[in-house]
Chain A
Amino acid sequence: MTSASWSMMLVVSVNAILFHAMPRFSRPDILFAVTVPEAFAAGAGRTLVARYRAIVWSGATAALAIGLLLPAFLPGSGQGGMLVIGPVAGNMMVALAAWLLAHRKARAHAVPFSDVRVASLVPRDTSLPGGTLFAAGPFAILLATAVLVYTYRDDVRAGPITIKPFGPLVFGGVYVAMMLTMAVSLARTTRQIAVDGLAAAAEQRFRRVNVLVLVLTGYAVAVLLSVTTVQSMPAFGDALSGRVWLVPMPIMLFNFGVALWMFRVGQGGQRAVAPAARQEVHGDATPDHAWKVGGLLYFNPRDPAIWVENRVGFGYTLNMGNARAWLLIGMMMLAPMIAARLLF
């Protein structure tokens, strides 16, 4: 088997596993991005999940079979990107179609959106985990590296592509600023769904972990770019040559651990809460009709929230009906352009 075949097998398998696990990511009373009675999700809804998973795995098996048998029938097709792209795209489309079909079926059991809204009057902690000083850490790392680069400015080695010496650091600063803006916005403008009690505490813990991941991603980027920059200076030798990617490894491992933790506690941390403690919590306080493309996109101009809990996957997504969300998106799109301008 060629390396392209192995790549195709890996991507198709990971994709199938992800789609298989997707119904488990939602809150206990959200099934295929539809708010349903929890009793339905835990009972009759399982048949729906089983059918969905059967289609996902059939699609994956067919994709693997086509991808592995194709080179035998079409000599020379075992090389190149088409062998990977074809089966992977096919598998993805089948899995998405299965999701959309299940979403449509689940809508027949949807719970009407309540007109009664309840909120807690107790102010909650919306600060960044570790405080402002900890959040500013990545900037300090980049600044220290910039001082070092300035001190040894005549010594900076020219790489294969001419990169401006301060380019990666300024790019790092832009990226970290973007991460922190997202972290602050997530901490402050996300709706609290459970009003009080254990369910609310679990939800707040889940949100803070998400915010921490953003802050730590800023650290990972700052450390990586700083080390890369220092590497380009002969005065500091090639001690880490080829192993630079190991530097942000602890943070990446932490983020991987967080992903596993999220899988265990479920969206909003609600699967870790006893059903009795979340009796008052229904859905995620967003109307089903505002979720588009099978629950992938949230568009609700009447909702003041910028971030809402994802219905497909963990974490949070932007409310595309909110102008402030578009400001954030604009910022995220601008960053790569700034990067290109600053790096070269």
Chain B
Amino acid sequence: MAGALRVSLNLESSVPAYRQIANDLRRHLVEERLKPGDLLPPIRQLAVDLGVHFNTVALAYRMLAAEGWLELKRRRGAAVIARNAPRAVDRRQVDHLLRQLAHIAAELRSVGMSSRQISLALRRLAQGTRP
């Protein structure tokens, strides 16, 4: 497992803490910095380190387990698993995410970014690099 694998959360953010944790973890998984077989810290340990309730971390782990990224291990945290089988596209979830993206694109245009700049940034994000 590569070094500097971190998860961060901002308690001032309007995004719930469990989502922030899940988002960070998902980013590491998508960018393959977390690979199949890697172990994640036990729920209690990560909760204590982040200073949040155990359920917050448990919820983030469960969310990623439901997405097929993790296998939960009793008292040992979670392990990253291979997502071999192509997953069925959840149309409702995709629509929901695209709607969110549309709002963000509108916000980006309102702060002065051109359509071209937005497309470029999105392409870079999709390729796993920073825009």
Known: A117-B8, A118-B7, A121-B28. A192 touches B49 (CB 8 A): yes
When the two chains form their complex, are residues B51 and A304 in contact, meaning their CB atoms are under 8 A apart?
yes
Say which size band chain B's interface belongs to: 20 to 34
Hey, what's the 0/1 contact readout for A173-210 against B, CB within 8 Å counting as 1?
Answer: 00000000000000011111001100000000000000
- Complex Cα spacing A126 to B46, Å: 13
- Quick one: which of B25-66 are within 8 Å of A by CB? 25, 28, 34, 39-42, 44-54
- Complex Cα spacing A302 to B53, Å: 8
| Contacting residues, chain A, for B39 (C-beta < 8 A) | 123
Q: Let me know if B68 is at the binding interface, CB within 8 A.
A: no
- Complex Cα spacing A305 to B49, Å: 8
| Contacting residues, chain A, for B54 (C-beta < 8 A) | 304
Q: Let me know if B129 is at the binding interface, CB within 8 A.
A: no
Interface centre among B1, B10, B44, B51, by most chain A C-beta atoms within 10 angstroms, is B51
- Complex Cα spacing A285 to B9, Å: 14
Known: A119-B7, A196-B3. A126 touches B51 (CB 8 A): no
Q: Let me know if B12 is at the binding interface, CB within 8 A.
A: yes
Q: Let me know if A154 is at the binding interface, CB within 8 A.
A: no
Majority SS at the chain A contact face: loop
When the two chains form their complex, are residues A121 and B41 in contact, meaning their CB atoms are under 8 A apart?
yes
Hey, what's the 0/1 contact readout for A227-252 against B, CB within 8 Å counting as 1?
Answer: 00000000000000000000000000
| Contacting residues, chain B, for A305 (C-beta < 8 A) | 48, 51
**Closest beta carbon of chain B to A288's beta carbon, Å:** 14
| Contacting residues, chain B, for A124 (C-beta < 8 A) | 41, 45
Known: A117-B50, A191-B51, A303-B51. A126 touches B45 (CB 8 A): yes
When the two chains form their complex, are residues A188 and B44 in contact, meaning their CB atoms are under 8 A apart?
yes
When the two chains form their complex, are residues B25 and A121 in contact, meaning their CB atoms are under 8 A apart?
yes
Q: Let me know if B11 is at the binding interface, CB within 8 A.
A: yes
When the two chains form their complex, are residues B49 and A115 in contact, meaning their CB atoms are under 8 A apart?
no
When the two chains form their complex, are residues A120 and B5 in contact, meaning their CB atoms are under 8 A apart?
yes
Interface centre among A120, A188, A189, A191, by most chain B C-beta atoms within 10 angstroms, is A120
| Contacting residues, chain A, for B1 (C-beta < 8 A) | 122
**Closest beta carbon of chain A to B60's beta carbon, Å:** 12
| Contacting residues, chain A, for B52 (C-beta < 8 A) | 117, 304
Hey, what's the 0/1 contact readout for B106-131 against A, CB within 8 Å counting as 1?
Answer: 00000000000000000000000000
- Complex Cα spacing A119 to B47, Å: 9
| Contacting residues, chain A, for B41 (C-beta < 8 A) | 119-124
Q: Let me know if A116 is at the binding interface, CB within 8 A.
A: yes
**Closest beta carbon of chain A to B130's beta carbon, Å:** 18
Known: A115-B12, A116-B10. A122 touches B48 (CB 8 A): no
Residues of A in contact with B (beta carbons under 8 Å apart): 115-124, 126, 188-192, 195-196, 285, 302-305
List, sorted by A's number, 5 A–B pairs whose CB atoms are closer than 8 Å: A116-B11, A119-B7, A119-B49, A121-B28, A122-B3
19 A-B pairs besides A117-B52, A122-B1, A196-B3 with CB distance below 8 A are A119-B6, A119-B8, A119-B50, A120-B5, A120-B49, A121-B41, A123-B40, A123-B42, A123-B45, A124-B45, A188-B45, A196-B4, A285-B51, A302-B51, A303-B51, A304-B47, A304-B48, A304-B54, A305-B48
Residues of B in contact with A (beta carbons under 8 Å apart): 1, 3-12, 25, 28, 34, 39-42, 44-54, 77
